[in-house]
Structure 1
Amino acid sequence: MSADRHPADLARLWRTTGPSRLGRPAELDTERVVRTAVELADRDGLDAVALAKLATSLGVTTMALYRHIGSKDELLVLMQDLAIGLPPKPTADPDDFRAGLRQWASAMRRMYAAHPWLADVTPASPPLGPYSVAWMNQGLALLRPTKLDWGEKLAVIGLLGGYVRQSAQLAVGFAQAGVDTPEAEAQYGRSLAELIDPENYPEVAALVASGVFGTMPSSTGGDPAVVPEFLYSLDVILDGIG
């Protein structure tokens, strides 16, 4: 779906369509449909959000869903925006854009951890829903102290958001493959040591010989926004912006 959406799609995205004034109040609305879909995805993954299963969870027919969502593609857009939610208010000094962006990116990384399926959903458009626009608005506000123009500010927000998303995708992929543990990393190092020729791959050979694999802390079960690898790369990006 493109950013050029049908007015009805945008109305549902921003929840500007009110309940019918005729007859009894509707037992089902867009908000309830989307929240239930997000709960299913959080619990069982995105593949679990089939319209038939969603309808069963809501106690309605599949056709009844189309009164509140235009299509499965639209449902994914609605789910993305709702799952993103509002960004937490920054506590950094308003004049310290670097600290503010660090908090912004860390909060986004935690949001992806709360909804692992989000990292696998390709954004259907630039920020368009109320929650995704709120994140963009906050990121731009944090860049007020800089001398960047609007295009540069937008590029910075896109760069940081892309980095956080990639970090979340890697974490999900490693967890699914069972390699997000020191033991698995150590096995990876041993495999490389057996496979590579130090003459052809001297830097990788030196990396393996350093013993770094298996010594890095696992991100499983902890706060993903304080994992050293995440913070190091984030700081490199922020240094570049500075």
Structure 2
Amino acid sequence: METHNLSCAICLDRFKVPVTIPCGHTFCRDCITTHWDTKSKSNIGPHCPFCNEKFTTRPILKRNVSLSLLAEATANSAGASGRDTVPVMRGDIARAMHPILCDRHKKPLVYYCRKDNMCVCCECAIFECKNHEQVLVESERENRELLLRKKSVEVGIRMEETERSIAELTENIAKAKVTLQQTSHWVNAKFSMLFKVLAEKQESTENFIEQEKEASLSQVEARLEELQERAKQLRESQSQIATLRNLPDIQLIQ
């Protein structure tokens, strides 16, 4: 880190107990310690948050005396002139981050406190949320994005299943309509045939009954005529007998 840059790349504030790690970059001791503690909870080994160089073991942090004195001298100079220095980072990083600041400490929200479910700055992480589970905002975002990707996949699978069910149901409805239409035609055809057969049976039965009626009536009428003729003959015989009975004895005997 260049000697004229007196701000920490994590908290964006003037160095407080600056320490230089093996890659040559310098941070506030509390900031880099909190950063590594947070990363270790996510099973991520120590590395430089500026250049991302990884270290096999956590480096021993030693105070950078020169930067400490320079930072203190700058602070004293700013205090004497009634002005404070503006924290700076390397231009590219500052422009890329556009950090949201903590309402209390006016420092970037770089950590996420999982107990309080909120983003916090380095001072909040060191003091208010010291014993809480914390991760970097980037790590929490990665976790959230991972969950969202999984959720998206699950929703996509359910959408495919739902659309497949809709397609199957639509196909079944179409098949059912065709089947019902065919059944309706079949039933109508069967009833039409049945009505035709019944009509034919009705006609033949009526013809048979008519024929039987005519035959029976003919026989009865013939028998009636026969009996009427016999009755006529019997009346004539009865009349003759009455006439004979009225004759005198001689005529009756002769």
Q: TM-score, normalised by structure 1?
A: 0.19
Larger RCO, structures 1/2 (Cα 8 Å, 6+ apart): 1
> Which structure: larger Rg?
2
